[in-house]
Structure 1
Amino acid sequence: MLHLFQKKSIIKWPLIIIAIFFIIILLIIGIYFIFEKKFAARIYPGVFIANIDMSGKTKEQAQSLLNQKIDQIKQNGIIFQHEQLKAILFPVISSVEGDLAYQIIRFDAENNIQQAFNVGREKNLKENLKEKYQTWKFKKIFPLTFHTNDEEISNFIIEKFNKFKKPSQNAKLAHNNSEYLDSIKFNIEEEQYGQVINYKDGLDQLKQNLSVLNESPIELSIDSRGPEIIKSECIDIEEKAKNILAKTPLNLEYNKYIWTINFRILKDWLILKVNPKATSTEDKIIVGLDTEKVKEVLLNLISSEIDQEPLNAKFEIKNGRVIEFQDSRDGRKLKIEETIKKIEDELIFNGNKNIELVIQELKSELHTEDINDFGIKEIIGTGHSNFSGSPENRRHNIKTGANAVNGALIKPGEEFSLIKTLGDINKETGYLPELVIKDNKTIPEYGGGLCQIGTTVFRATIKSGLPVTLRRNHSYRVSYYEPAGTDATIYDPWPDYRFINDTKNHILIQTRIEGDDIYFDFWGTRDGRKIKITDPVISNITKPEPTKIIETLDLPVGTKKCTEHAHNGADAYFDYTVTYTDNTEKYERFTSHYVPWREVCLLGVEKLSTATSSEELLRETVE
């Protein structure tokens, strides 16, 4: 009997082990499903954006947390310093009239949040499990996504730390400025050594700091600069310069036209250059042409007579009919850089004095005879905004911008660019300036009011059910564009506003201004698509900081000039759904984040407060 009992006991153990194994498997599966359920709408553990732990955060929570950090940088700015001098760079340039404020550092928080949320979700089951485990164990850190206006930031650094600049100078070709060709004598002036602020390293450090949300001051360095051309390497240069001058007059030709360059002009074009084809020290330095001086002559005397922009045919709706109000015309353009190179090659190296200008022929895209094929029958969508309270300059610019867009035709499948359609935005094209605040000065810039155009075109786009390919909201809430979340900012050259005509017919844009209201009508052919646009949802209202007072010598003593009144910050979104005739749907949520608008005022003073930096010239006050 004992023997039989032991045998039965031995038989039960494998079953127990198998049962335990399956229980463990079920527990693991259960834990996994509980884990997945918990993180179904949350970022997995171990995911960081810069130095912010996003573990367990929903997209909305992560967005709010990241925006707080970004807003802090926008409000406080970034400090550059060298020795005792400090200067603060603010990511957003303020304006006296709020809608010309623009960003020189643009953060892309939405992209970062999507990157973080996608961890452990974009691959197959095995790869996702592996990525989630590695992220939990070792962390996954995404650098902050942003875009910088490198030119403007570089100019800021150079201007603020200009006192440390001592330019180096190449050895220079000079002449006695004689009025007679035979009496002109050339000589070589000595080179000079110098130093410059290393703005490139400063810009690189700024990008590195921002990528990890490091707000530490950026220490700039000084670089010594030696000249490229030294006098001791200039061999027989004086004689070579005289031989080139002897070839005058120089004839620049296009068709039957000839522009003559005499020796009095050419002598000032001649400079020393490093020869890229040098084979010995004797021909290392050559006589070449001063690109800027040649460009000045080409622009002022020649291109103004040659250049002709192509014109597309433009149309308008009158009495229900499409009629032309601008005929099409081909154009041409003097290619400045190519022409300068050709002049230098032909004159200096080949000894030719008769030189054909380099001209580019430009074809118009839309022609009058195409009108019958356009399929323009009815209004497919209308955008509207109100600009009551706008000053005269802004009203003028809105009308000028509306006229520039009026009559524009968009081909089927074409991406419409508002910046391209507006063209040059300056005094010559009829715009009036608006003041922007940079440091302790107001500087006139053109383009105030054009965001009214951008916003109205955006609203017309979604009312027409068209896909938006590029849209940015303003940095701050601007009263002209309420309700929040339905605006679109533009600034030449960036940001642009763009959309695609995905209908099978042309779209004609018609603009109209009625009192303080502006309308953009999109004419085309309805194709049965259905459009649903929800009302904007506004949240996360945040109060602005106290008014910032900046002392300036540009205003009369005691005079104060301020930006638009302060506005609360906020987040906003609305949903946009287009249902096509084949029942396919396209859904997009347009989100907007607005930094609290802090009023900035310039105060005229007789003398700036004693300060070693722009940081110390800022005073805050509650009004």
Structure 2
Amino acid sequence: MFTEPKYQVNYFWKWLFKITIIFFILILCFIIAFLLFEKKYQNKIYQGVWIGDYDLSGQTAKQAKQLINQQIDKINQNGIDFIYQNHKTNILPTISSVETGINYKIINFNINQAINKATNFGRDDNFFINLENKIYSWLFQKKITMAIDFNQPEIEKILQENFSNFNQSAQDATITFIQNNLSNNLQLQINKEKLGKIIDYKKGINELINKLSQLKTQPIKLLTKTQYPQIYAEDCLNIEAKVNLILNLAPLTLKYDKQIWIIDKNQLADWLILKINTDKTDSDKVTIGLNQNKIENFLIKKIAIKINQEPLNAKFQLQDNKVVEFQDDQDGKNLNIIATYNNIEQSINNQKTEIELIVEIQKSIINTTNINDFGIKKIIGTGQSSFAGSPTNRCHNIKTGANAVNGLLIKPDEEFSLNKALGKIDKSMGYLPELVIKKNKTTPEYGGGLCQIGTTIFRAAMDSGLPITMRYNHSYRVSYYEPAGTDATIYDPWPDLKFINDTGYYILIQSRIENKKLFFDFWGTDDGRIATRTQPIIYNITKPEPTKIIETMDLPVGQKKCIEHAHNGADAVFDYHVIHPDGKVENKKFYSHYIPWQEVCLLGVVKLNKENIAATSTVQQ
């Protein structure tokens, strides 16, 4: 039997022993390196984690937030330029009031969410996923994008106001009628279609969001797109016969209750348009239809104003500790524009000349039938703020807004929206205009001062221990809302202030004004919850840039008018605690970031240079 030499066996075990030692040394080195790595990045962001173009490696959450806030502040102050051909306009994330310092955001950076993502990257519950993430960020970088809230309708509106002159919309083939003076008949004429070229606003806004999510500020070049017509003249066959069939129905009679409106042949002819034929039994590509926009406009301007009546909710107040009604509920009426248009179209197709208007009854939401079940017993929370020193229009708007909310009931489990509660903000509701800055142009807008309502109700909701579901701070510090960090800005449709009535009973809102101080009292049922909040901590105070001078031809030559005052930038934070009767505790931190706001002054000049022409052609409303 063959026996392996002894020296070969010893050689094998020696090498196995060496390999094992090396293996354990490597593992030990890895563990030591890992522990040293973890110690280095304890409470810090791991290597290779970026937000946009900013490397956050080795920074604490506080340091990273300060760095990113600096860039956000620059964007908030300088805005983003949009360019098309030789025309440039600038959009600022904040729109502000000249007279009162009221300001609201149309672009908001969710910095806390981004910093939390950066801080928590590589700190998952799974060790191997964490290890993979750390190696990946170290080798390839981990880019975290900034989440952004934005008021798209407002941004698109600003772009349209500045670039709409460059649009050439496509035109479908159309029909017009010429009055024949000899026969007194209407003569049909078909007009040829045209191609269009329009600016792609949505693409520009998408690029804006993409750039800002990476904290990039390069100008955005707007692009155009070809717009094609849908209806071509060459497809308009047998149109005249179809037109005559409809015009011969005139006059039409629109009816509601005892009221009637007569539609003569000329009016009916003005409503006719060419449209794509969807009737499969008709071989013609194009047929005659009704112009929905014109008919709806007619219904709104001529008929709805004589029929519509807003429903009124019952409103209540407290007298001798009892809830009493001071505004009766009343059902409303509303002309259903779309349903009425459809009924007109269907009636004409069926050769009918008498057409019923579709009117709907709108029930009031709050009525007096269940007044004893509301559970309104005592004040559960109060908010207050001072508007001392406010100009006349602002004081008026605050009183108007407070009256609009006074007496409202919030149902159990309802999410209260302040924008919805205030409703329409315009002259018809009693509001006065204030000058608002949109870049370098000033334009009147109604409702300045309503953020005083938002701030005070925010404080009342917290004092009542209610869960806050939406709240945004102002862009910069405003004296009316001190202490900083406890303010809430609103602007329809966004930003809004929202909270939930989770008390199980109705909440009655009562407003009062005493010596230029605004109060909101929330009346309801005290369920024993205890709400507290800490005093806000204010930090990172930063000075604004020097005064910015903007040349304008709207002022006499040499006259200087400051349209924005300087404000220090700062951060603020406070804790909001609610202890429920069952022992449940809810804690929430409210963070606020206020950008440093430089003083801006207009200077009257004889002529603007090209740069100023581009800069000041921003908003004209």
* Distance across 1 between alignment mates of 2:608 and 2:281: 57
> Shift of the alpha carbon at 1:426?
0.6
SS at match of 1:238: helix
1: distance between equivalents of 2:412 and 2:328?
A: 21
Q: Is the 8 A contact 1:98 1:564 kept in 2?
A: no
What residue is the counterpart of 2:328 in the other structure?
Answer: 327
Correspondence for 2:120: 118
Q: 1:607 to 1:285 in 2, by over 3 A?
A: farther
For 2:116, give the aligned amino acid: Q
Matched, 1:392 2:407: no
Q: Give the conservation status (yes or no) of the 8 Å contact 2:89–2:617.
A: no
SS at structure 1 position matched to 2:370:
helix
Percent identity between matched residues is 52
> Residues 148 and 613 (structure 1 numbering): CA distance in 2 closer, same or farther, change over 3 Å?
farther
Deviates more, 1:161-170 or 1:100-109: 161-170
* Counterpart pick for 1:265 among 261, 264, 267: 267
**Maintained 8 Å contact 1:42/1:56:** yes
User: 70, 83, 88: which one pairs with 2:72?
Assistant: 70
* CA-CA distance at 1:584 after TM superposition: 2.0
Tell whether 2:398 aligns with 1:404.
no
Q: How many residues align?
A: 614
Q: For the residues of structure 2 that align with 1:585 and 1:346, how far apart are their CA atoms?
A: 62
Contact 1:509/1:522 (<8 A) preserved:
yes
1:45 alignment partner in structure 2:
47
Tell me the TM-score normalized by structure 2.
0.90
1:509 aligns with 2:509: yes
- Work out which of the residue numbers 156, 162, 187 in structure 2 matches 1:160: 162
Mapped to 1, the partners of 2:552 and 2:200 lie a distance apart of: 28
Deviation at 1:183, TM superposition (A): 1.7
Provide the rounded CA distance (Å) in 1 between the counterparts of 2:222 and 2:419: 36
Give the aligned residue type for 1:458: F
* Cα 1:276/1:543, change in 2 over 3 Å: farther
Question: Which residue pairs with 1:213 in the alignment?
Answer: 215
Residue of structure 1 in register with 2:345 after alignment: 344
| 2:470–2:499 contact (8 Å) kept in structure 1 | yes
2:146–2:214: 8 Å Cα contact kept in structure 1? yes
Deviations 1:525-580 (A, max 9, x none): 22222222111111111112233333444455555443342111111111111112
Shift in Å at residue 317 of structure 1?
A: 1.4
Maintained 8 Å contact 1:181/1:263:
no
Unaligned stretches of 5+ in structure 1? 619-623
Please give the secondary structure, in 2, of the residue aligned with 1:521: strand
1:292 is matched with which residue? 293
The residue aligned with 1:521 is 521
Q: Secondary structure at the match of 2:171?
A: coil
CA deviation after TM superposition for structure 1 residue 393, in Å:
0.6
C-alpha distance 359-550 of structure 1, shift in aligned 2 (>3 A): farther
Tell me the amino acid that sits aligned with residue 390 of structure 1: S
The alignment status of 1:414 with 2:390, answered yes or no, reads no
Give the structure 2 partner of residue 105 of structure 1.
107
Whole-angstrom CA distance in 2 between matches of 1:596 and 1:272? 56
Given that residues 419 and 496 in structure 1 are in contact (C-alpha distance below 8 angstroms), is that contact kept between their aligned partners in structure 2?
yes
Name the amino acid aligned to 1:173. Answer: I
CA displacement at 1:433 relative to structure 2: 0.8
Residue identity matched to 1:183? N
Q: Which residue of 1 aligns with 2:429?
A: 429
Return the alpha-carbon distance in structure 1 between the equivalents of residues 32 and 354 of structure 2: 86
| Contact residue 439 and residue 616 of structure 2 kept, 8 A | no
Is the partner of 2:143 in helix, strand or coil?
A: strand
Other structure's SS at 1:369 match:
coil
Q: Give the aligned partner of residue 621 of structure 1.
A: none
Q: Which amino acid aligns with 1:450?
A: L
Q: Tell whether 2:582 aligns with 1:582.
A: yes
- Alpha-carbon RMSD: 3.1
Give the drift of 1:34. Answer: 4.8
Name the amino acid aligned to 1:412: P
Number of the residue aligned with 1:173? 175
State the shift of 1:99 in Å: 4.3
Q: Give the Cα–Cα distance (whole angstroms) in 1 for the partners of residues 124 and 539 of structure 2.
A: 30
Superimposed CA distance per residue, residues 350-402 of structure 1 (whole angstroms, 9 cap, x where no aligned partner): 33333333444433332212121111111111111001111111000000000
Mapping 1:470-509, distance limit 5 Å = 470-509=470-509
Q: Which runs of 5+ in 2 are unaligned?
A: 1-5
Q: Aligned partners of 1:602 and 1:179: how far apart in 2?
A: 58
**Alignment of structure 1 residues 125-274 onto 2, 5 Å:** 125-177=127-179, 183-255=185-257, 257-274=259-276
Secondary structure at the counterpart of residue 494 of structure 2: coil
> In terms of mean alpha carbon deviation, does 516-525 or 228-237 score higher?
228-237
Question: What is the match of residue 376 of structure 1?
Answer: 376
